[in-house]
């Protein structure tokens, strides 16, 4: 009986490894999603989030703002090329490598799925599971700075240049804005308690909840995975006579683009139609903010109201993934006839119409993801502490 159980576990692990997305939106889309989210957040919420991310700047100086931290969950997988060289050491932390999406099967020919494939999607091996855990963890945070900061790091993190940016849409993050707006007065009192200093010893008998480690893990997961589940091929695993065990989210479908570049279907979508191919370090902060501004102008929030209903906002992560799945089913494989398709037909050469439609759809998905992430982080920020350096600034004024 024991050997049979072990065999089942091993088989299950193999299936999960094969049926889980290994890739993610490329760095550009991730950072643009985060920049759009920032532009939709109050200044106080931005600073709270950047404060937590900045507490890890000693180990991750290149991932210390919302935009830069958006790619952290990808970067920690690496131990060398093609990953960018880190400021300190490679993590080679692959624990979450196969949990960047939701394994929703797409089976247009209705073939018989075998083994664990027939049980997909598997919740505990999905981005939905990680997002649910992160959401619950962040909402359990004690909103004070008591015992939070690393005692070996006495310099508070600076206010991010992103949080001081001014967007032409007139959102509340203007550089000359009051960081503690009137609308946040109740939140400020709740976060700081009777004392003006949130670092004073709590009157609660229990120790505060939330550490630099847990808050950073959870925030970075939310920022990254909310974006990932809006890439349709992170929520769609195609089965067909040619791919009886799945196409591994499009990575098994090789492509040749009009410029002669070789890629695969998943990577093509990760780059929003191979538009964003630069690495994280090749983007300037200004480029990220400007591209976010352009996408918001192309897809203003009021044009996407049907995608911003409460049932499609956090923490309804499965609904977001299922919406992306439907888009992928309608568009990603539009030029495939899975009934007759054979691996020998590869590489796939997409039409110019397909290229244009995918690029438009991806930009729209980036906008939707950014708006939804902004809502999520604004809500979660109510559970995060007001940084002490900001309190000092307010009380000195």
What's the pLDDT at 388?
Answer: 82
| Domain 20-159+170-396 indexed as CATH 1.20.950.20 | no
Question: Contact, 43 vs 179, CB < 8 A?
Answer: yes
Q: What is the DSSP letter of 255?
A: E
What's the pLDDT at 158?
Answer: 58
Q: Which residues pair with 262 in a beta bridge?
A: 256
Q: How many helices (H) and strands (E) does the chain have?
A: 13, 4
Looking up tokens 């050469």, which residue turns up?
349
What's the pLDDT at 23?
Answer: 52
What's the pLDDT at 368?
Answer: 99
In this structure, the number of other CB atoms found within 10 A of the CB of residue 20 comes to 22
Greater confidence (352 vs 171) lies with 352
The two three-digit tokens of residue 214, written as one number: 């847990």
Greater confidence (395 vs 290) lies with 290
pLDDT digit string, tens, across residues 1-44: 334 433 433 344 444 443 444 456 688 999 999 999 999 999 99
Round the average pLDDT of the chain to a whole number and report it: 83
Gap between the Cα atoms of 276 and 266, Å rounded: 14
Domain ranges in the chain are: 20-159+170-396
pLDDT digit string, tens, across residues 121-133: 999 989 999 999 9
Looking up tokens 């780059």, which residue turns up?
271
How much is the average pLDDT of 55-80? 89
Looking up tokens 């139609």, which residue turns up?
273
Gap between the Cα atoms of 228 and 71, Å rounded: 10
Contacts for 345 with CB less than 8 Å, ≥ 6 apart:
none
The phi and psi torsions of 200 (rounded to 5 degrees) equal -65, 155
What's the pLDDT at 380?
Answer: 98
pLDDT digit string, tens, across residues 348-385: 999 999 999 999 999 999 999 999 999 999 999 999 99
Q: Quote the strand ranges of the chain, DSSP E.
A: 105-106, 237-238, 254-256, 262-264
What's the pLDDT at 156?
Answer: 52
Contacts for 220 with CB less than 8 Å, ≥ 6 apart:
53, 63, 69, 72, 73
How much is the average pLDDT of 83-106? 83
Q: What is the CA radius of gyration of the chain?
A: 22
Query: Which whole-number Å values give the CA distances from 232 to 125, 218, 387, in the listed order?
Result: 17, 23, 37
**pLDDT interval class at 223 (50, 70, 90):** very high
């Amino acid at each position: 009986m024991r050997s049979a159980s072990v065999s089942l576990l091993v088989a299950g692990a193999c299936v999960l490894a094969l049926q889980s997305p290994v890739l993610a939106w490329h760095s550009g889309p991730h950072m643009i999603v985060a920049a759009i989210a920032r532009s939709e957040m109050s200044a106080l919420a931005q600073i709270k989030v950047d404060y937590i991310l900045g507490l890890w700047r000693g180990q991750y100086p290149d991932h210390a703002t919302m935009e830069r931290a958006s790619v952290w969950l990808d970067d920690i997988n690496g131990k060398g090329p093609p990953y960018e060289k880190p400021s300190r050491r490679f993590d080679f932390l692959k624990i979450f490598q196969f949990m960047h999406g939701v394994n929703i099967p797409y089976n247009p020919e209705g073939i018989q799925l075998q083994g664990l494939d027939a049980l997909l999607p598997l919740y505990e091996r999905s981005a939905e599971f990680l997002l649910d855990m992160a959401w619950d963890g962040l909402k359990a945070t004690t909103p004070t700075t008591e015992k939070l900061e690393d005692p070996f790091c006495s310099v508070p993190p600076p206010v991010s240049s992103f949080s001081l940016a001014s967007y032409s849409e007139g959102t509340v993050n203007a550089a000359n804005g009051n960081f503690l707006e009137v609308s946040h007065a109740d939140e400020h009192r709740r976060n700081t308690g009777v004392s003006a200093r949130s670092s004073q010893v709590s009157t609660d008998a229990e120790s505060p909840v939330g550490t630099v480690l847990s808050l950073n893990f959870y925030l970075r997961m939310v920022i990254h995975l909310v974006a990932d589940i809006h890439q349709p091929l992170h929520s769609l695993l195609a089965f067909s006579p040619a791919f009886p065990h799945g196409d591994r989210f499009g990575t098994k479908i090789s492509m040749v683009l009009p410029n002669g570049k070789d890629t695969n279907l998943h990577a093509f979508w990760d780059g929003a139609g191979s538009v964003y191919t630069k690495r994280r370090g090749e983007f300037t902060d200004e480029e990220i903010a400007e591209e976010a501004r352009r996408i918001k102008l192309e897809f203003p929030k009021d044009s996407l109201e049907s995608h911003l209903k409460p049932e499609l906002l956090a923490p309804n992560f499965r609904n977001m993934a299922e919406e992306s799945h439907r888009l992928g089913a309608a568009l990603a494989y539009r030029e495939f006839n899975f009934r007759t398709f054979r691996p020998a037909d590869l590489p796939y050469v997409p039409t110019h119409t397909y290229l244009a439609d995918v690029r438009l759809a991806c930009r729209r998905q980036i906008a939707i993801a950014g708006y939804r992430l902004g809502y999520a982080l604004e809500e979660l920020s109510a559970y995060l502490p007001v940084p002490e350096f900001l309190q000092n600034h307010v009380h000195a004024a």
